[in-house]
Amino acid sequence: MPIRTTGIMVSVTLAQSSFSVIQAGTMDRHITPKFEIPAGSFVMFMLISLGLWIVFYDRIALPLASKIKGKPVCLGLKQKMGIGLLCSCASMVAMAAVEYIRRGIAIEEGFSDEPRAMVHTSALWLLLYNVLSGLSEAFNSVEQIEFFYSELPKTMSSISCNLFGLGALAGSLVASFITSTVDDVTKRGGKLGFQAISTKAITITIIGFLLA
């Protein structure tokens, strides 16, 4: 049960990736003067970091470490899941920090009441959140499936994936509850919640630091 709950917390943080899309939509997404990354495509950096880390760890880091020490070297499953939790916490801190800075710039530029206004700050700052989220998934989610497969009998292999899926489901429900609760609290006093840029920024910042 404790091992499965680590997957729930990672799933909760991964479910907040929709906020990075909202953030990117109000930031400068240009790589060159003529090329702009769509706001919804920033999630791909999470998948890219996930894939690159798995290849790097399996094909470069482990063989190199084993060669240096003269014996097989490998992090334990529980160690990797712990690192995944740390990356998950760091990703939430990164998201909240970027939103705090973005909100400050929006207020300085007079966009506190314009939810769709473009703020003059680079959306590439969101790469930190997406990369850390990808690493948390690589360390925790992948290793959880491996852990379940190694602990359960072969005749129960199908249950292994179901246990992981159950954790992801619980994480999505918890994430939805937290988001709804914080949004309801920030709506008090006649505010418009996520429809207002200042309240939206406060909500995202609170959720980020709360989950961290």
- Most confident stretch, 97-106, 123-132, 158-167, 193-202: 123-132
What percentage of the chain exceeds 90 in pLDDT? 1
What percentage of the chain exceeds 70 in pLDDT? 78
- At residue 5, the pLDDT reads 66
pTM score of the predicted model: 0.78
Q: What is the 3-state secondary structure (H, E, C) of the chain?
A: CHHHHHHHHHHHHHCCHHHHHHHHCCEECEEECCEECCHHHHHHHHHHHHHHHHHHHHHHHHHHHHHHHCCCCCCCHHHHHHHHHHHHHHHHHHHHHHHHHHHHHHHHCCCCCCCCCCEEEEHHHHHHHHHHHHHHHHHHHHHHHHHHHHHCCHHHHHHHHHHHHHHHHHHHHHHHHHHHHHHHHHCCCCCCHHHCHHHHHHHHHHHHHHHC
Residues 118-139 pLDDT 10s: 788 888 888 898 899 889 888 8
